[in-house]
Every structure is written in C-alpha cells, then in structure tokens.
Amino acid sequence: MTPITPRRSALYMPGSNLRALEKARGLPADVVILDLEDAVAPDAKAAAREQVCAAVRQGGYGAREVVIRINALDTPWGQDDLAAAAEVAPDAILIPKVSSPEALVAVGTRLRRLRTPVRTRVWAMIETPLAILEINAIAGAAHDVDTRLSCFVMGTNDLAKETRSRVAPGRTAMLPWLMTALAAARANGLDILDGVYNSLEGDAGFRAECEQGRDCGFDGKTLIHPNQIAAANEIFAPSVGDVERARAIVAAFALPENAGRGAIAMEGRMVERLHAEMAKRVLDLAEAIRRRESDSQS
C-alpha cells in the first residue's frame, strides 16, 4: 500500500510575492502552492516564474510538499512555465483548468522529454464544467504512468464563475460536483483537496466548510491565508477520540475469539471488518501526521 502523505492544509501564495514565498518556509502548512496563475497579474508573470523557480532551487521548505501552479498550457505563459517548473523539479506541478485526459497525457509527454525526475508528480485543478462532465476519464489518466497524475484540486471559484452558481454557506450548488470529483478520484486511487474559502479570517464559516470537506472525504483544504492553516490541520487530522476508537476496533478484531467473525458488536454498534480497515487507515494517517510534525520541528 502507498504510504499516506498528510495534505490537510495546502496554502496558495502569489509567485510574485517574495515575502509570502519566504514566510511559507516557516508556516505549518503540509503543502505550499507557489502560484503563477490567477494570483499573478499578466505583467508580472515572467518575473514571478523566475522568483518561484529561484525559491524552489534555494529550498528551505523542510517536510512541506512544494507545488508550482503553472498557467494553462494554451495561455502565452503556460509552456514556458512548464519547462521552468520541470527544471527545478518541485514535488508536483499543478495544471489549471484541466478538462480532458489528453491534456494530462500532453503534460506527461513533455515532462518525459524534458527528463524531469519522476518524483515530480502532476496535480490537476478540477474547475471547469467540462472537467466535471469528463471527470472519470480525467481521473482514469492516472493509470497511464506517464501522466504522473496523483492528486485533484477543486477550483471552486472558477467553477462558480463558469456555472454562474453562487458560493454560499453550505455550498448546496457545489456539492454534487465536489462529490462527483471525489468519487472519480477515489475510484482511480487519487488524493483530492477541497477548494478555497475566500474570507481571510479563520472564522466559524471557515471551520464549518473544513468540517464539511472532511465529512465529504477530502484529504485536506486549499487555503489562501496563513490564518487558515491551524484550523485545517486540526479538522483534517483524526481527533484523539477517533484514534482511541480506531485502536479499540483494530484490537477487537485481533482477539482470537473474533478471528472467524465478519461483524461484532461494540458499545451497542455493529462493527464490520471494513470498519477495521477504515480504523487502520485512521491510525496510519495519525502516525503520518505525527512524523510530519516531528520532522518540521527538527
């Protein structure tokens, strides 16, 4: 089984903002996304590309995953962004506005020709109506190893723009698309991160949206401000109670008297072997987070 990589918090920052690129080296986000796309004005694109590549080359991001979001490949900057990002080989290159599996095959082919190390993975933004309609084919691109596809990132602002839906508390309009993308990701072995919350405060609305994303099954949330990191890290991690329950379930199925049983009763509830598998994942995630946090302190 692939080891779990915690991705509770993925903080975007404009590639044109040197202060943010530096500050990110000390922030407790699991992932930093150095953005060349929507957070950067057209006149600043080339300078941002150079600045982001210099920051990745310089390093200092510790255990955090470093991801470069490039401009779409059909824009004036996309191809140069891809070549420059490939050269500095971050943990992943995030491709915006992916609407077909062919787009990912083209990226993978270019990365192979550029001899980019295979440790650099490809992440895809899911943020167009067409991507939602084609989602299983896009997720299926992960089976072509050349595409390097390993994670989806929901672009809820672009989805709202393109569909003319409103981003409202509870996200009623967005939920079917979020869950469709989530099902496609899981069916094809991909991780998936929820979209951003546009208020800069770590307020009650933000916590509620993190809890909704966690309950939907997302691995973490994309963020726009350092204020949002602590709540995302807390909410997307198993709680102390989750870990205790998980340990009890794993221990119960390890008892000799339960060896031949598919279902047992615990505290008035039915617990099946599938719950033991889920419990094992909770324990593995908690351990991966513990290791990540001790790595960032050393």
**Applying CB under 6 A, does 157 fall inside the site for ligand LIB3CWND?**
yes
- Taking CB under 5 A as the criterion, the residue among 14, 15, 108, 155 binding Mg ion is 155
φ, ψ for residue 96, nearest 5 deg = -80, 160
- Confirm if 88 and 114 have CB atoms less than 8 A apart: no
Cα separation values, 128 from 14, 38, 111, 133, Å: 22, 15, 24, 9
For the CB of residue 198, give the shortest distance to Mg ion in the complex, in Å: 12
**Applying CB under 5 A, does 238 fall inside the site for Mg ion?**
no
Q: State whether the Cα torsion 80-85-86-92 is positive or negative.
A: negative
**Applying CB under 6 A, does 158 fall inside the site for ligand LIB3CWND?**
yes
For the CB of residue 25, give the shortest distance to ligand LIB3CWND in the complex, in Å: 10
**Applying CB under 6 A, does 134 fall inside the site for ligand LIB3CWND?**
no
Strands (E), the chain: 9-14, 31-35, 65-69, 92-95, 121-126, 149-154, 191-194, 220-223, 263-266, 269-272
Distance of CA 256 to the CA centre of its chain: 40
C-beta of 31 vs 264, nearer to Mg ion: 31
Site string for ligand LIB3CWND, 26-65 (x = CB under 6 A): ---------x--xx--------------------------
- Taking CB under 5 A as the criterion, the residue among 158, 191, 194, 219 binding Mg ion is 158
Q: State whether the Cα torsion 68-26-193-143 is positive or negative.
A: positive
Closest CA to 222 of 192, 190, 194: 194
Find which of ligand LIB3CWND, Mg ion, none residue 225 binds, CB within 5 to 8 Å per kind. Answer: ligand LIB3CWND
Closest CA to 7 of 127, 153, 125: 153
The reply, when asked if residue 164 is annotated as ligand binding, is no
Site string for Mg ion, 95-134 (x = CB under 5 A): --------------------------------x-------
Cα separation values, 173 from 99, 107, 180, Å: 20, 31, 13
Q: Which of residues 186-245 bind ligand LIB3CWND (CB under 6 A)?
A: 195-196, 200, 224-226
User: Token pair for residue 67?
Assistant: 């991801």
Provide the binding-site residues for ligand LIB3CWND, judged by CB under 6 A. 11-14, 19-20, 23-24, 35, 38-39, 125, 127, 155-158, 195-196, 200, 224-226
